[in-house]
Amino acid sequence: MYWVSVFTEAGIFAILALGLDMVWGWGGDFDLAFYGYLALGSYMTFVLTIGKPTPPVKYIIGWHLPVVVAMLVAVVVVVALAAVIGSIALRNLREIYFAVTTLGAVSALYVLVENYTPLFDGYNGVYGLINPGQTTLRLTYNGYRIVLLGVVLFILFLAYLLVQRLSRSPYGRMLRAVREDERAAAAYGRKVFLAKYRSYLFGAALAGLAGGLFAIFISAFNPSAWTPQELLVIYAAILVGGRGNPRGVIVGVFVVYVGLIELTRFLPSPASRPDFSPALRQVLIGLMIILVLKFRPAGIFRERPGRDEPSRPTRPLARPFRARVVAAASGATVLPGGRLGSESAGLPARARHDGAPDEGAAP
């Protein structure tokens, strides 16, 4: 059962990481607010399902919604929060300024949640969402945990398919162009803010969904369960797996969570130093980041560049009619028989390699 729980947690974080990678990997923005989105998704799922608080416990809403509905509402609330933070942080702030702003926003929320008890009962947090639907499904406790793992992996798989599809789509290509050079992207008609904003909201929705699953998984949630440091482990996982590659991101999360964090539990821990093992974990994660950056900077799976396959001969003889029309419109002359004259550009047929280094002086 221990491993079921480990894999469930890794699966949930992989969903979060897929969303985060859209913002950081494709969009290039180092966001530090995402753990807050996961937390808000969790909190909302709790307060929408566990019913009225019994004093002295205090929290908002207190409904008895079915857990699936509650998770969907939670996602909407999370996206709304991301819409506010994103509209401020993404407009003109980049790099370290963006990171600090998002960190500041989520830290402010953190302090608010901790100290303003009517919201989510402050430090005590919310609890009581214990295996929702277990009795309806007539499952044992262990059976339920296994089914939960299955559900998490299934949702992860769906999220992966969706993100992978986006990654290879014109949208993914456009977002990466914005990452590579914003000014050039704008010069070619791209709305930089909107491109980033849409991926930010989509990523936040995945974070909120992960938060809802997390609520079911741990059945209690308080501020100590979410700190910005947790997000850095996710970033490490993305880096190891392959920034910008959805498959790599998932593999990275499983490598880091299952491989490192959990395997270090089996290390002997001296009785005099009970914090040895957790401390060693941090060291190992740091070491792993250094090694990956040194020997495989693109990660286990590198970002897939958009290739034009199969590599065809430069001048195929037969072309579909529409292609010919487009080619003609683009300024190339279409010779009889549908061939395109390479001389049409008026460029000398000379050499591929004189498109050459900068040193050549202008006349």
Site residues (vs another protein, CB under 8 A): 162, 165-166, 169-174, 176-177, 180-181, 183-192, 198-199, 202, 303, 305-309, 311-312, 314-315, 319-320, 322-323, 326-327, 329-332, 340, 342, 344-348, 350-352, 354-363
Q: How far is the CB of 252 from another protein (least distance, A)?
A: 19
Alpha helices in the chain (DSSP H): 2-21, 34-49, 67-92, 95-115, 117-120, 134-137, 141-167, 170-180, 182-187, 192-218, 228-241, 246-254, 276-295, 321-329
From the list 82, 80, 76, the residue with the least C-alpha distance to 32 is 82
Supply 124's token pair. Answer: 């005590």
In total, the chain counts a number of residues equal to 363
Residue 127 three-state SS: strand
Measure the CA–CA gap between 139 and 146, rounded to whole angstroms.
Answer: 10
Is the Cβ of residue 95 or residue 181 nearer to another protein in the bound state? 181
Q: Which residues contact 107 (CB under 8 A, 6 or more apart)?
A: 228
Q: Quick one: 58 or 324, whose CB is closer to another protein?
A: 324
**Least distance to another protein, CB of residue 85, Å:** 19
Closest distance of CB 238 from another protein, Å = 16
User: Least Å distance between CB 152 and another protein?
Assistant: 21
Nearer Cβ to another protein, position 317 or 361?
Answer: 361
Closest CB 223 distance from another protein, rounded Å = 33
Cα(7)–Cα(259) distance, integer angstroms: 11
Nearer to another protein, 119 or 332 (CB): 332
**Distance between CA 197 and CA 27 in Å, rounded?**
10
> In angstroms, what is the minimal distance from the CB of 361 to another protein?
7
Nearer to another protein (CB atom), residue 86 or residue 132: 86
Q: Are 205 and 75 in contact (CB under 8 A)?
A: yes
**Bond before 56 cis per omega within 30 degrees:** yes
The CB-of-200 to another protein minimum distance in angstroms stands at 11
Q: Which is nearer to another protein, 138 or 312 (CB)?
A: 312
Q: How near is the Cβ of 64 to another protein at its closest, in Å? A: 33
Choose between 45 and 167: whose C-beta lies nearer to another protein. Answer: 167
In the bound state with another protein, the residue whose beta carbon lies nearer, of 275 and 309, is: 309
Scanning the structure block, which residue is given the tokens 């920034």? Answer: 243
- Tell me the sheet residues that pair with 220: 127
Largest CA distance in the chain: 87
- List of residues 6+ apart from 3 with CB closer than 8 A: none
